[in-house]
Amino acid sequence: MIPNSQIQSKNEIILSDNSKFFYTISPFEMTDVLGHVVAILQEYTFIKIDVDNNELSYKLYRTKDGNWYEINSIKGSEENNIVRQLKTTFLANELTYTGS
């Protein structure tokens, strides 16, 4: 089990439409049906507070190789677009900071 104290960071990201999301990154253990850990992913929780103080949140998971996953997710086309923008903007920012 991963202790809660290993939450890495709390940051913000701004999408191309100027919407601002805050996010946290924490370890996530993926288990099989018997409860055995089969992978440890990074869980990204993106949160946005809209003008009516409604909280919108999206959870994405990423492997150490950089592949993104959505677990148990059925979203409409607008939400899929936001998730796509979050991934793209996050990767673009990551490339900017690493100089790749």
Which residues, other chains included, contact 56 with Cβ-Cβ below 8 Å and sequence gap of 6+? 47, 48, 49, 50
- Averaged pLDDT for residues 19-25: 91
- Averaged pLDDT for residues 27-43: 92
For residue 16, name the pLDDT band (cuts at 50, 70, 90): confident
Tens of pLDDT, residues 66-85: 888 887 666 677 788 888 89
- Averaged pLDDT for residues 17-36: 91
Cα distances (angstroms) measured from residue 41 to each of 2, 6, 28 = 11, 13, 5
